[in-house]
Amino acid sequence: MLEVRQLGSRYGRIPALHDVNLRVGAGELVALVGANGAGKSTLLRTISGVQPMSAGAIGFEGRDLGALSARQRVQAGIVQVPEGRQVFAPMSVEDNLRLGAFARGRASALEQVIGFFPVLRDKRRQPAGLLSGGQQQMLAIARALMAEPRLLLLDEPSMGLAPRLVAEIFGHITALRARGTTVLLVDQNARAALSVADRGYVMEAGRIALEGDARALLRDAQVQRAYLGL
């Protein structure tokens, strides 16, 4: 479904990504892990079109995305849940969700999407800013689902959450994968991300340092030392 080839990106004169190669098959859940500043979020932003690329190519279902804007990539089916949730705090939960279908999807899908996160149904009239951090993360994911993504990009969904809420969020991610949603997941919680993924990539200094089966990466001594505290 997604093929990234020799991708480069930079912030002004500062290179951020170097010859990145990555692929995601239809129906897969692929985890991208690494230390803070490794380039994980930049890679997601470059795939979604928010961050410009300086070299290489991005193919999506056989289509070259190089000339497409971020909006056009959403319309093609690539939808990103941004780091830090970024919900519209003064607006109601329901209005946040309806905005998710602005460029793609159906507003009529709201009941189906909100049913996936029952806590949001109970709070649908409340301002999004009054939700807890975990509830805001559920809202951010639900808002993305309103666009009926072919590929869902998740950027640091466990950031700032208590362990119980992290487990709940990753439970929802696993359920999405079981429903057939293709997911590229970025998270600094390498153990949690690789535990739910089919395959994984490890980034270091803007490059792919390791890749392989997610379970094999969990057992890899280098990954254990660097990211799992073993």
Domains of the chain with CATH codes: 27-38+69-227 (3.40.50.300)
Which residue, 100, 78, 101, 80, is CA-closest to 149? Answer: 78
Beta-sheet strands, E only, within the chain: 2-11, 14-24, 29-34, 55-60, 63-64, 78-81, 151-155, 182-186, 199-204, 207-213
Which residue, 75, 53, 79, is CA-closest to 66? Answer: 53
Q: What percent of the chain has pLDDT over 90?
A: 80
pLDDT for res 230: 64
Q: What percent of the chain has pLDDT over 70?
A: 99
Which residue, 138, 9, 151, is CA-closest to 74? Answer: 151
* pLDDT tier, 187 (very low <50, low <70, confident <90, very high otherwise): very high
Could you tell me the two tokens for 16?
């951020």
pLDDT for res 201: 96
Greater pLDDT, 16 or 188: 16
Cβ density class 83-93: b for 16+ within 10 Å, e for less: bebebeeeebb
